[in-house]
Structure 1
């Protein structure tokens, strides 16, 4: 696997992933994507030649709607998705409000939010267009995910709080125990 087209192909060939994407699309959300571990884990499983899918804790569906940032709306959307695919750990977030959690300037779109995910290899999203073609966004590029490199997005090297968020995530996720070929980059504490 060396390019975006191949990432799209492995997703198109995965019936479970396509069902997830079709369910998310059915919500008709503005600027929506299924992102993060949903895409990253598929790539890493493929590069590790795993025959079974690595379970992921949640399916991250994001969208961007500054007109309605009520968190209750996200919970309603999760319930709708649970009714469609009940055994799926859905997590729906409106990125028009999530910048507050990350202590960043307001995001301008869902892709802008993805571009600020803690790890470059996680800053990935996919969705279906009107003809159900898989669309991939990778605002930090795909080289790190394809080279099995985990490193911080530059936004998570700028201050001690974000450095701590990145390093705590790396410790908590313990990805190397699942995908042993990974190379993990830690941030040197310069404060």
Structure 2
């Protein structure tokens, strides 16, 4: 089975993640997805044959709306999500997030996640109105199935990459993972 179908099937079999996707969809955001650990952890858990899913310490809802990029608007959206479903929501409009890294403005959500520190993290999922699932993956999906944590040179922040590996304790949680430093090959 191809990686895309494996991820979609894993999402559909995970009632918590489907409820989270359905709740985020209620916001009616343009160009949105749930990214980072929402997909990455699911795949790594499956690759390690874990019967119990790694808890979601935050749920990254990203969207792209250049007409309303105020951080306060994202806070309102987080409050709304919390009213609907108690989860550790984090809503970020990618139309302003380039400012944190002193980059040119992002074109859309996919462009924004293409700058995330790890290739495996740069994957998102959206639940469409017809209940189909769209995956957003600027680097494709194969890296998630390679048991790797790969530095994204486009992020231009190797220090953040190293810190995230240590702080998030990925190598302890998923011991088969190997770190790939694309700076040295």
Please indicate, yes or no, whether the TM-score normalized by the shorter chain is above 0.5.
yes
Q: Contact between 1:65 and 1:95, CA under 8 Å: does it hold in 2?
A: yes
Could you report, residue by residue, the CA deviation over 1:45-79 in whole angstroms, capped at 9, with x for unpaired residues? 01111011111220000000111111011111001
Q: Contact between 1:2 and 1:146, CA under 8 Å: does it hold in 2?
A: no
SS at match of 2:16: helix
Q: Return the offset for 1:149.
A: 0.7
Could you report, residue by residue, the CA deviation over 1:61-102 in whole angstroms, capped at 9, with x for unpaired residues? 00001111110111110010001111x100000000011112
Q: What residue ranges of structure 1 are gaps of 5+ in the alignment?
A: none
Q: How many residues align?
A: 184
Rounded to whole Å, the distance in 1 between the matches of 2:180 and 2:102 is: 23
| Counterpart pick for 2:174 among 156, 164, 179 | 179
Rounded to whole Å, the distance in 2 between the matches of 1:108 and 1:183 is: 32
Hey, what does 1:124 align to over in structure 2? 123
Q: What residue ranges of structure 2 are gaps of 5+ in the alignment?
A: none
Counterparts in 2 of 1:41-60, with a 5 A limit?
A: 41-60=41-60
Q: Return the offset for 1:131.
A: 0.3
Across the aligned residues of Structure 1 and Structure 2, the Cα RMSD in angstroms comes to: 1.5
Hey, what does 2:25 align to over in structure 1? 25
TM, length-normalised to structure 2: 0.94
| Counterpart pick for 1:167 among 162, 170, 180 | 162
Q: Contact between 2:114 and 2:154, CA under 8 Å: does it hold in 1?
A: no
Could you report, residue by residue, the CA deviation over 1:117-162 in whole angstroms, capped at 9, with x for unpaired residues? 1100000000011201111111111121111110111213x4xxx1
Q: Return the offset for 1:35.
A: 0.6
User: After TM superposition, what 4+ stretches of structure 1 lie above 6 angstroms from structure 2?
Assistant: none
Counterparts in 2 of 1:57-72, with a 5 A limit?
A: 57-72=57-72
Counterparts in 2 of 1:1-191, with a 5 A limit?
A: 2-86=2-86, 88-156=87-155, 158=156, 162-186=157-181
